[in-house]
């Protein structure tokens, strides 16, 4: 702690302002931002989408979008002001002074070049390829934790999983041993366990190389766990910065407080308010609303030349949901959880097993009974940008189910739409708007209103809050909870995020490779997980151990 002389910061952002010129006038994306990154230090910038966190970091590497520019302030890299540096200077800096790991591992590798070639390209561009580039490339990939680096170097991006691609991108970012690595949401698209491995590895590598890391993330828990210093941004301004643990345990700015109280990974279990309802239901006495028994889904995968291979997406899954409760199905990508949702919604045929809803078999329903079933079970999908028809006004969107099922006349339907909007706390004037004018969270609330229109008994939420910022996510979860208490709704909640499960679920099924590996009440799963897999999932939730 006792440094004789004050060390020189590696990156210093001073009164930075960034402005984008748009057809509707200038947009101030970042204003008066100040923070520093010391050599070898990890600094996390945290904020919701649109807070200016990525913009600030991209300015430091000269990669702002064409209509954006630093309008005032300084970006000092090792004492040199690079806020208005030439493209030539940035080309010199990029790679061997400042590296970058982009957000989306799926689109940031060129699909037509082998991984090895793409690493070699980076080395060559910085004159570090050496005499034996092949060996050097293998070494770099091995350092990034890819097994069989020689073989892997000869493969194309599509042969890599998301986690492996992100490792390859980290390898490229660190290939030239930069002094600063900018990691823009490096693990947001990955499963928690993979996220943990990748970040562990990034930690090890950067501390060995002495690289400073500027980590951009929306997850305060992750930031607090991985960084020494956290910078919180809100509406283009830095509202708070300080030592990571101090920020987490002793937040000062109301926005930081709000972030911490909403972050699912940091908050406690579902409130006591819900216990009362659950207590009234004595299991065994009440017939469950939904009973899934030995459910199996097998896909035929075409292998060419008429050869087929069977792939079991859902393998002998059984669970029950009591009326008025929430059952969460949790698993990583490819675990078959969404397939279950689609089968319960009768949008996909099952291969074997039973789905019984309120005593009635689903799957061989007649057209008429299926229509009735649709009225009782409604979905909410993951992507708020995809689940509303962009051509339909909000009014038509919410009215559509009423119209399909021939409920009421024009006047009564309009009244109903207003009521529904009120239920999801949206002003009635929203009904004349179109989905493209609403934010992700607002669209998701519209999707909830549409699902409620037919007064269903059960709602299937397929990753319904996964695409939302933490604050908006908390708001939507609260809304779902409130509606459940008011209307006695039953939820089947499909998610990859165990942290969210704790906020909403009564019962939990943990899935891996199509099978349920563990099921029980939320408290059982969180307090005394029995399977190794669940323990790994729980352990991988960032930040949970810090509070």
Burial class (CB in 10 A: 0-12, 13-18, 19+), 108: middle
Nearer to another protein, 83 or 224 (CB): 224
N-terminal to C-terminal alpha carbon distance within the chain: 24
Which one of 19, 29, 41, 265 is in contact with another protein (CB under 8 A)? 41
Judged by CB under 8 A, the stretch of 135-143, 309-317, 379-387, 501-509 that binds another protein is 379-387
Q: Which stretch binds another protein (CB under 8 A): 79-87, 177-185, 280-288, 375-383?
A: 375-383
Residue 391 binds another protein, judged by CB under 8 A = yes
Region of 103-111, 130-138, 391-399, 495-503 interacting with another protein (CB under 8 A): 391-399
> Exactly one of 153, 220, 263, 447 binds another protein (CB under 8 A); which one?
447
DSSP SS3 for 504:
helix
Binding mask 212-241 for another protein (x = CB under 8 A): ------------xxxxxx----xx-xxxxx
Give the span between the Cα atoms of 152 and 160, in whole angstroms. 9
> Which residues inside 145-204 make contact with another protein, applying CB under 8 A?
196, 200
Check the CA dihedral 174-94-43-108 and report its sign.
negative
Annotate 27-37 with b (16+ C-beta within 10 A) or e (fewer). eebbbebebbb
Instruction: Locate 485 and state its tokens.
Output: 């208490």
Report the site for another protein in 400-419 (rule: CB under 8 A): 400-401, 404-405
216 vs 222: CA distance, rounded Å? 10
User: What is the rounded CA–CA span in Å between residue 326 and residue 92?
Assistant: 55
Which residues, 299 to 358, sit near another protein by CB under 8 A? 345, 347
Vertex 359: Cα angle to 357 and 363 (nearest 5) = 50
Strand order of the β-sheet with 377-380 is: 377-380, 458-462, 490-495, 326-331, 507-512, 515-521
439, 466, 513, 515: which one binds another protein (CB under 8 A): 439
The answer to whether residue 430 forms part of the interface with another protein (CB under 8 A) is yes
**Which residue from 150, 159, 246, 275 is in contact with another protein, where contact means CB under 8 A?**
246
In this chain, which of 77, 160, 319, 381 binds another protein, going by CB under 8 A? Answer: 381
Count of residues of this chain found to bind another protein when the rule CB under 8 A is applied? 84
Print the binding letters for residues 466-505 with another protein: x by CB under 8 A, - otherwise: -----xx--x------------------------------
Q: Which of 252, 261, 333, 455 binds another protein (CB under 8 A)?
A: 252
Least Å from the CB of residue 486 to another protein: 21
| Nearest partner of 141 among 127, 129, 128, 152, judged by Cα | 152
């Amino acid at each position: 702690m006792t440094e004789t002389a004050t060390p020189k910061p590696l990156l210093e952002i001073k009164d930075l302002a960034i402005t984008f010129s748009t057809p509707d006038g200038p947009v101030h994306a970042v204003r008066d931002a100040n923070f520093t990154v010391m050599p070898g230090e990890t600094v996390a910038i945290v904020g919701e989408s649109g807070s200016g966190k990525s913009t600030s970091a991209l300015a430091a590497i000269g990669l702002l979008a064409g209509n954006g520019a630093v309008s005032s302030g300084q970006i000092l890299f090792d004492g040199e002001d690079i806020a208005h540096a030439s493209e030539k200077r940035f080309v010199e800096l990029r790679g061997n002074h400042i590296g970058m790991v982009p957000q989306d591992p799926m689109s940031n590798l060129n699909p037509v070049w082998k991984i090895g070639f793409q690493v070699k390209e980076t080395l060559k561009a910085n004159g570090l390829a050496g005499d034996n580039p092949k060996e050097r490339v293998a070494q770099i990939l091995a350092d990034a934790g890819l097994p069989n680096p020689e073989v892997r170097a000869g493969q194309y991006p599509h042969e890599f999983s998301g986690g492996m691609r992100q490792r390859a991108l980290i390898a490229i970012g660190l290939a030239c041993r930069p002094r600063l690595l900018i990691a823009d949401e490096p693990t947001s698209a990955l499963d928690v366990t993979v996220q943990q491995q990748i970040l562990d590895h990034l930690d090890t590598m950067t501390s060995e190389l002495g690289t400073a890391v500027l980590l951009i993330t929306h997850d305060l828990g992750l930031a607090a766990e991985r960084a020494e210093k956290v910078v919180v941004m809100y509406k283009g301004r830095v509202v708070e910065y300080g030592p990571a643990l101090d920020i987490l345990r002793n937040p000062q700015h109301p926005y930081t407080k709000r972030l911490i109280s909403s972050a699912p990974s940091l908050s406690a279990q579902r409130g006591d308010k819900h216990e009362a309802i659950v207590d009234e239901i004595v299991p065994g006495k009440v017939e469950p609303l939904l009973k899934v028994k030995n459910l199996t889904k097998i896909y035929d995968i075409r292998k060419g030349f008429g050869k087929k291979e069977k792939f079991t997406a859902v393998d002998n899954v059984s669970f029950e949901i009591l009326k008025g409760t929430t059952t969460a199905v949790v698993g990583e990508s490819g675990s078959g959880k969404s397939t279950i949702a689609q089968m319960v919604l009768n949008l996909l045929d099952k291969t074997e097993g039973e789905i019984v809803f309120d005593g009635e078999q689903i799957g061989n329903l007649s057209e008429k009974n299926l229509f009735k079933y649709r009225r009782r079970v409604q979905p909410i999908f993951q992507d708020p940008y995809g689940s509303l028809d962009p051509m339909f006004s909000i009014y038509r969107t919410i009215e559509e189910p009423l119209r399909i099922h021939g409920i009421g006349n024009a006047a009564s339907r309009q009244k109903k739409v207003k009521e529904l909007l009120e239920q999801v706390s949206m002003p009635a004037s929203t009904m004349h708007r179109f989905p493209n004018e609403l934010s992700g969270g607002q669209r998701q609330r519209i999707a909830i209103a549409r699902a409620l229109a037919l007064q269903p008994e059960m709602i299937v939420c397929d990753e319904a809050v996964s695409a939302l910022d933490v604050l908006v996510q908390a708001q939507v979860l609260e809304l779902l909870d409130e509606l459940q208490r008011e209307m006695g709704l039953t939820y089947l909640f499909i998610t990859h995020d165990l942290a969210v499960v704790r906020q909403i679920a009564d019962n939990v099924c943990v899935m891996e490779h199509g099978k349920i590996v563990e099921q029980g009440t939320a408290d059982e799963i969180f307090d005394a997980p029995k399977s190794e897999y669940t323990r790994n999932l729980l352990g991988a939730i960032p930040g949970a151990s810090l509070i």
